[in-house]
Structure 1
């Protein structure tokens, strides 16, 4: 199955591959959001465990799928200091999301309306929740697209199988993300249909970011190691600033940590086994 996907990805090229892979992650988000048609709410213990799982996947992907290939490739460019592109890209990625976080109005899941971040606004809570998850999904789409582009350029440490593994890992953790938007909205009285709509809409940015990432590294090959570490820095910022704090606001912190470890382990296995 994996070999067939690799052949197919080689045939259609990195941009289309990135688009299809991130469309898959979008669809999985929609599947998670669709649970709102069957349940009005989800137990907080389950919710926090799934959020922890999401953080684990993102942290593992940041190292094995992005930072490690960046450093490996940089050994040829900077033999004496291969850490330079990884460090520069990593910090730039974090600062990029930091800037978006400061200016884009959004509200983290499980937070109260008076804890809205970004520029002051009177937007509805559902819109702010949607923007929070959208902010979360930008680096995920970029990561998949950049990795497909890097693999097509023959970058050492990057491969199509690794890009597929990353897409699968992000897809798995997008399932609870869809629920994370849809369920709170339903709990606050939003209709099932609107809750589902907002839940799936949060991931529509991933195919867009995926295509941008793939195109960028194809036409600007010199930025490859920087681009990979940029995506890693962006994801780490999201996990530490958003995902982890959301799991620590109730009494299920231990379950969230166990979920984190499970997500980290699964993503590590996917990348090592398939990548």
Structure 2
């Protein structure tokens, strides 16, 4: 860990963002094993991903944001509540504007502007890309918080591991439906991993934004948390429940949250 800390915040953002992208690619690589998949396994993985994202939003983002605001002499609820709401609103706006299609949905159910004019593969990639924007931002602003002394580096590593784990089902969720529809394994994999490329980019944006606007760090951390919670409530949880495996998905959501909580308490 000490060696990694010697890297600049920008380099750290690139490295950790690349790690989470590679985990997306790992999930997409399952397409080489089989054309079929167990829906219960998929829904359990989505539930786990939701739990990880909820826990990361609090333990790695909102909690440090409140602590930093308190140390600066500001009422902690002001930046946390403001940033959280703005993050959710931002993802809501992007969700309405960006053409995208969620797995297991027909092309007629695509969302965003002029969705029906784009290919299904493109819309699926855009859906997971939408999920990955707040994750990359979360990594970047968390690294920024460490560089400014507002957080421990262990919290960044916990966040990276948690997001990396939940990226596996996201890559899986793109590549497997495309394979079922007749795309080659190679093309299905390429589309699946492509959705994760936005994470290192968003991580770098997050670090640069924190460096330019240091007083806004508590707002930035809360913004990333609000964006992630929006994704969980709007996309991840409904997708995990739509095939009738809601109890299983809920159980794994609890498991994902608990794992992240334990890691933060033990290592944070």
* Superposed pair shares fold, TM > 0.5: yes
Confirm whether residue 225 of structure 1 aligns to residue 211 of structure 2.
no
- Aligned equivalent of 2:26: 31
Q: CA deviation at 1:76?
A: 2.6
Confirm whether residue 53 of structure 1 aligns to residue 51 of structure 2.
no
1:167-246 map, 5 Å: 167-246=160-239
- Aligned equivalent of 1:72: 67
Q: State the alpha-carbon separation in 2 of the partners of residues 171 and 44 from structure 1.
A: 21
Correspondence for 2:247 among 254, 263, 268: 254
Query: More displaced, 107-116 or 59-68?
Result: 107-116
1:256-271 map, 5 Å: 256-271=249-264
Q: CA deviation at 1:78?
A: 4.1
Q: CA deviation at 1:269?
A: 1.7
Q: State the alpha-carbon separation in 1 of the partners of residues 48 and 176 from structure 2.
A: 17
What secondary structure sits across from 1:227 in the alignment?
helix
Q: CA deviation at 1:229?
A: 0.2
Could you say what the CA RMSD is over the residues aligned between the two structures, in angstroms? 1.0
- Aligned equivalent of 2:132: 137
Confirm whether residue 92 of structure 1 aligns to residue 104 of structure 2.
no
Confirm whether residue 82 of structure 1 aligns to residue 89 of structure 2.
no
1:9–1:160: 8 Å Cα contact kept in structure 2? no
What secondary structure sits across from 2:49 in the alignment?
helix
Q: State the alpha-carbon separation in 1 of the partners of residues 53 and 102 from structure 2.
A: 17
Point out where structure 2 has 5 or more consecutive residues left out of the alignment. none
- Aligned equivalent of 1:151: 146
Q: CA deviation at 1:272?
A: 2.0
TM-score (norm. length: structure 2): 0.97
Q: State the alpha-carbon separation in 1 of the partners of residues 15 and 264 from structure 2.
A: 19
**Which stretches of structure 1, 4 residues or longer, exceed 3 Å deviation after superposition?**
none
Q: CA deviation at 1:177?
A: 1.1
Q: State the alpha-carbon separation in 2 of the partners of residues 272 and 232 from structure 1.
A: 19
Q: State the alpha-carbon separation in 1 of the partners of residues 177 and 62 from structure 2.
A: 34
- Aligned equivalent of 1:113: 107
Point out where structure 1 has 5 or more consecutive residues left out of the alignment. none
1:19–1:210: 8 Å Cα contact kept in structure 2? yes
1:36–1:195: 8 Å Cα contact kept in structure 2? yes
1:55–1:244: 8 Å Cα contact kept in structure 2? yes
1:150–1:218: 8 Å Cα contact kept in structure 2? no
User: How many residue pairs were aligned?
Assistant: 267
Query: More displaced, 248-257 or 51-60?
Result: 248-257
